[in-house]
Amino acid sequence: MPMNARRPLPTPPAHARILSVPENARCLDAVQLQNLEQSFRDWAEAPRSPGLGMSRRRILLIYLLIRYTGARLNEVLKLDSHRDIDDRAHSVFFRKAGTEGAPAGRDVQIPEVLSTEIRKTLEIEFARRTRRGFFSIDPGHVRRKFYERAAACGIPRELGAPEVIRRSRAVELLQSNMPLPVVQKILGHSTPNLAASYVKFSEEDMQRAEAFFVDRENRRKTSARNEFFGKIETLRKGDVQAWVEISTPGGYRISAVITNHSLKRLGLKRGALVAAEVKAPWVTVHRSADDLESSADNVLGGTVERIVRGKVTSEIVARIADGTEICSIVTEQSLKKLGLRLADRMWVAFNAFTVVLHAD
């Protein structure tokens, strides 16, 4: 019997999906976020005086920190640039209210290029003022500049608000299939109950998952549309190939079969963190659980998120309970036969031999 075929679909937490964001809440897409970033950069590079240039670069960095960490405006303005920004680890530490001098808070990974940009800007500023007050700017002034930059690149002013940038980052991370608990950790939300998981994901595991996705977002490209992140729960080595099962933070198990040579080359062992990728054409779609008369090792239930129709083939995207999107490519004839519509219940399946593993 397929490992996931008869396992009940986990009930999503009450604050799952897009982190309790109302369905009618507006966000910026990746193109708009990039255009807004370029608007800030053009503005920061064209000052009327050196002093004004530094003031604008401070606003630019505040935008970039919200853009890539999903932090609240007040959290960024309270940063101690000497103590809370680690340019070696490429991370920012946001302290909880009332924990001055204490380690309580959260570390958020940032792209290496942003870490370098912050360091270089601070090195220039360090000769003029103490770094401790670098981000101490009136929040009203910051908001006005955010609105101005949004309008300058054709985005409605209200969508330039720091809260919208933060929300947009959350949606962006979820659309990249970063596990929901990791997204919630980044944004400082309470994480959902992980009791459904087959293994416990420690704080260190969550940080490694975050670092993996930040690194992939900035450097690694892949043609695979579907990706799961998790910890190896079961590993059985055969004469030629090995059976590997990973548990995800959302409580799912994904099975893969790889060669013993790959097992050794990747250095995989029980408890290791890995990413599992599956190309969309290898994912089959089923209208109901009663149709699952197949040898697929991985079967997951979800709902239809979107359908992109083509003349020969069409794309079906499902969303499972932990927020992960799974894409399948089917023929137009198969799509008509399935008769699926948006929000319909559906099942996706794929064989363990089609799963490609990447070591952390």
- pLDDT of 17 reads 41
Of 156, 171, 186, the last residue of a domain is 171
In this structure, the answer to whether residues 260 and 353 fall within a common structural domain is: yes
Instruction: For residue 274, tell me if it sits in a domain.
Output: yes
224 vs 308, which has greater pLDDT? 308
CB-CB contact of 179 with 229 (8 Å): yes
Which residues are CB-contacts of 14 (< 8 A; sequence separation ≥ 6)?
Answer: none
SS3 56: helix
Instruction: For residue 92, tell me if it sits in a domain.
Output: yes
pLDDT score of 180 more than 60: yes
In this structure, the answer to whether residues 145 and 37 fall within a common structural domain is: yes
Of 129, 150, 171, the last residue of a domain is 171
SS3 243: strand
**Cα(46)–Cα(52) distance, integer angstroms:** 9
In this structure, the answer to whether residues 239 and 164 fall within a common structural domain is: no
Please give the helix or strand (H or E) that residue 174 lies within, else none: helix 162-175
In this structure, the answer to whether residues 140 and 236 fall within a common structural domain is: no
Instruction: For residue 215, tell me if it sits in a domain.
Output: no
- pLDDT of 18 reads 40
pLDDT score of 328 more than 50: yes
In this structure, the answer to whether residues 63 and 156 fall within a common structural domain is: yes
- 150 lies in which domain range? 30-171
Number of separate domains in the chain: 2
In this structure, the answer to whether residues 264 and 150 fall within a common structural domain is: no
Q: What is the CATH number of the domain that holds 311?
A: 2.40.50.100
pLDDT score of 97 more than 70: no
pLDDT, tens digit (0-9, with 9 covering 90-100), for 202-219: 777 777 777 777 776 655
Of 171, 190, 215, the last residue of a domain is 171
The radius of gyration of the chain from alpha carbons, rounded to an integer in Å, stands at: 23
Q: What is the CATH number of the domain that holds 46?
A: 1.10.443.10
Least confident of 65-74, 139-148, 190-199, 230-239: 190-199
pTM score, whole prediction: 0.62
SS3 327: strand
- List the 325-331 sheet strands across, edge first: 284-286, 345-350, 298-308, 313-320, 325-331
In this structure, the answer to whether residues 150 and 238 fall within a common structural domain is: no
- pLDDT of 16 reads 38
Q: If you count them, how many residues does the chain have?
A: 360
